[in-house]
C-alpha cells in the first residue's frame, strides 16, 4: 500500500510540473509560489473540515505545539523555499532536466534522517549517491540534448543548476521533518491525521511566502499579476495546485506513514521516468538515448541507496 501511494504521489507531481512550468512563465516564480500555496491551503482547509468533521476553530487548536514546530519548518523549507528553487529550475532548465535534479532529494533525506531518525549511511550509500550525481551531470553536460532543449526556450546555465540542487535538498529535508512530526504523535491521543498535517505545512508555507513578498515589496505586484490573470496563467496554477500541493503532498505524507523516509523518497525519485514521456506529450521534445540513459543512471543510484538502507 505504501509503495502504491508513493507511485500515485510521483505521478501527480510529474503531471503537475508542466502546468506549474507554464504558470511560472506567465506569472513569475514569486507570484506563483505565493498564491498557489494560499490556494492549496484553502482547498485543504475545506477538505479537512468536511472530511475530518471538525469546526474551522478546532482545525487550529487540534495540532500540538510540536506539530506546529516540525510541520511548520517542513512547510517553509519544503514548500516556500524548496519549491521556489524547484520552479525556477524548471523554468530555466525545462521539466526534463529540472526533474532529474529531484533524484538528489533522497540523499538529503537520508543525511538528515541519520541525524534525527536514527537512519545511517555507509559506503554503499555513498556509491549510490555518486551514481546518481553522475547521471545528473551526464544529462547536464550533454551538448546534443542541450541543443534540443534550447529549441524549446530552455537553457542550462549555472543559476538553473544551482536552483535544481537547492530545491532537491530542501524537499528531502522537508520530508524528514514531516516524518519526525508524524512519528512524535504515532499511536497517541495527539496523533494528527495526514490531511491535517498537510494543512499545518501549507499554513506555514503560505504564511512565509506571503510575509516574504511583503518584506521585499513584491506583494502588490504579485497580487496584480495573479488577479488580472496575466497571460492566462491562472488555469495552469489551478491545475498544478490540485495535482501538487493538494493531492500529491497529501499522498506523500500518507506514504511515509507506511514506508521509511528514504524508501518513499526513492519512489518519488522516479519522477524523471514519468516526466520523459510527458515532456514529449506536452512539448514534443523527442526522448534522446542520452536523456533516457542519464535518467536510468540517476535512478539506479537511488536504488543502490535504498537497497543498502532496507536490505543490508
CA dist., res. 143 & res. 134, Å (int): 16
Helix (H, G, I), strand (E, B) or coil at 82: helix
Cell numbers 536523456: residue = 291
Model pLDDT for residues 199-232, shown as the tens digit of each residue: 999 999 999 999 999 999 999 999 999 999 999 9
List Cα–Cα distances, 9 to 73, 88, 254, in angstroms.
21, 21, 10
Burial of 146 (0-12, 13-18, 19+ CB in 10 A): middle
Average pLDDT over residues 146-159: 80
Nearest to 173 by CA among 254, 105, 98: 105
List Cα–Cα distances, 107 to 37, 162, 237, 248, in angstroms.
26, 16, 29, 21
Q: What does residue 82 show for φ and ψ, rounded to 5 degrees? A: -60, -45
Cell numbers representing residue 61 in the block: 487548536
Q: Give 191's DSSP letter.
A: P
CA dist., res. 60 & res. 2, Å (int): 28
pLDDT of residue 189 exceeding 50: no
CA dist., res. 83 & res. 202, Å (int): 12
Burial of 230 (0-12, 13-18, 19+ CB in 10 A): middle
pLDDT of residue 157 exceeding 60: yes
Q: What does residue 260 show for φ and ψ, rounded to 5 degrees? A: -65, 155
Nearest to 15 by CA among 262, 231, 233, 277: 277
Q: pLDDT value at position 73?
A: 94
Confidence of residue 91 (pLDDT cuts 50, 70, 90): confident
List Cα–Cα distances, 272 to 15, 53, 179, 275, 277, in angstroms.
11, 38, 24, 5, 9
Q: pLDDT value at position 171?
A: 87
Cell numbers representing residue 185 in the block: 504523535
Confidence of residue 4 (pLDDT cuts 50, 70, 90): confident
Find the helix packing angle between 65-75 and 194-215, rounded to 10°. Answer: 60
Cell numbers 501549507: residue = 202
Q: pLDDT value at position 186?
A: 54
Model pLDDT for residues 114-132, shown as the tens digit of each residue: 777 666 666 776 777 778 7
Q: pLDDT value at position 305?
A: 66
Q: pLDDT value at position 118?
A: 67
CA dist., res. 18 & res. 24, Å (int): 10
Cell numbers 536510468: residue = 296
Task: Give me Rg for the CA atoms of the chain.
Answer: 19
pTM over the 0.95 mark:
no
Q: pLDDT value at position 311?
A: 47
Model pLDDT for residues 239-279, shown as the tens digit of each residue: 999 998 889 888 888 887 787 766 777 778 778 888 888 88
Amino acid at each position: 500500500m505504501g509503495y502504491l501511494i508513493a507511485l500515485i504521489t510521483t505521478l501527480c507531481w510529474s503531471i503537475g510540473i508542466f502546468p506549474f512550468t507554464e504558470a511560472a512563465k506567465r506569472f513569475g516564480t514569486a507570484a506563483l509560489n505565493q498564491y498557489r500555496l494560499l490556494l492549496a491551503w484553502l482547498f485543504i482547509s475545506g477538505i479537512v473540515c468536511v472530511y475530518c468533521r471538525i469546526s474551522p476553530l478546532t482545525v487550529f487548536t487540534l495540532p500540538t505545539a510540536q506539530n506546529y514546530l516540525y510541520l511548520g519548518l517542513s512547510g517553509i523549507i519544503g514548500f516556500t523555499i524548496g519549491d521556489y528553487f524547484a520552479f525556477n529550475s524548471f523554468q530555466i532548465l525545462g521539466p526534463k532536466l529540472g526533474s532529474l535534479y529531484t533524484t538528489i532529494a533522497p540523499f538529503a533525506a537520508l543525511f538528515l534522517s541519520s541525524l534525527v531518525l536514527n537512519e545511517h549511511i555507509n559506503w554503499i550509500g555513498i556509491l549510490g549517491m555518486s551514481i546518481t550525481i553522475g547521471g545528473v551531470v551526464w544529462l547536464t553536460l550533454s551538448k546534443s540534448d542541450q541543443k534540443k532543449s534550447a529549441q524549446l526556450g530552455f537553457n542550462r546555465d549555472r543559476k538553473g543548476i544551482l536552483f535544481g540542487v537547492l530545491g532537491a535538498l530542501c524537499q528531502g529535508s522537508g520530508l524528514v521533518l514531516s516524518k519526525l512530526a508524524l512519528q512524535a504523535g504515532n499511536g497517541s491521543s495527539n496523533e494528527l491525521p495526514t490531511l491535517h498535517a498537510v494543512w499545518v505545512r501549507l499554513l506555514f508555507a503560505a504564511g512565509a511566502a506571503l510575509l516574504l513578498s511583503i518584506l521585499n515589496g513584491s506583494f502588490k505586484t504579485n497580487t496584480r499579476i495573479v488577479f488580472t490573470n496575466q497571460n492566462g496563467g491562472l488555469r495552469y496554477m489551478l491545475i498544478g495546485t490540485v495535482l501538487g500541493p493538494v493531492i500529491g503532498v497529501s499522498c506523500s505524507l500518507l506514504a511515509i506513514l507506511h514506508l521509511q523516509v528514504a524508501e518513499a523518497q526513492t519512489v518519488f525519485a522516479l519522477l524523471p521516468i514519468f516526466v520523459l514521456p510527458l515532456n514529449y506529450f506536452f512539448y514534443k521534445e523527442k526522448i534522446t538515448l542520452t536523456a533516457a540513459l542519464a535518467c536510468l543512471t540517476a535512478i539506479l543510484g537511488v536504488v543502490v541507496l535504498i537497497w543498502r538502507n532496507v536490505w543490508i
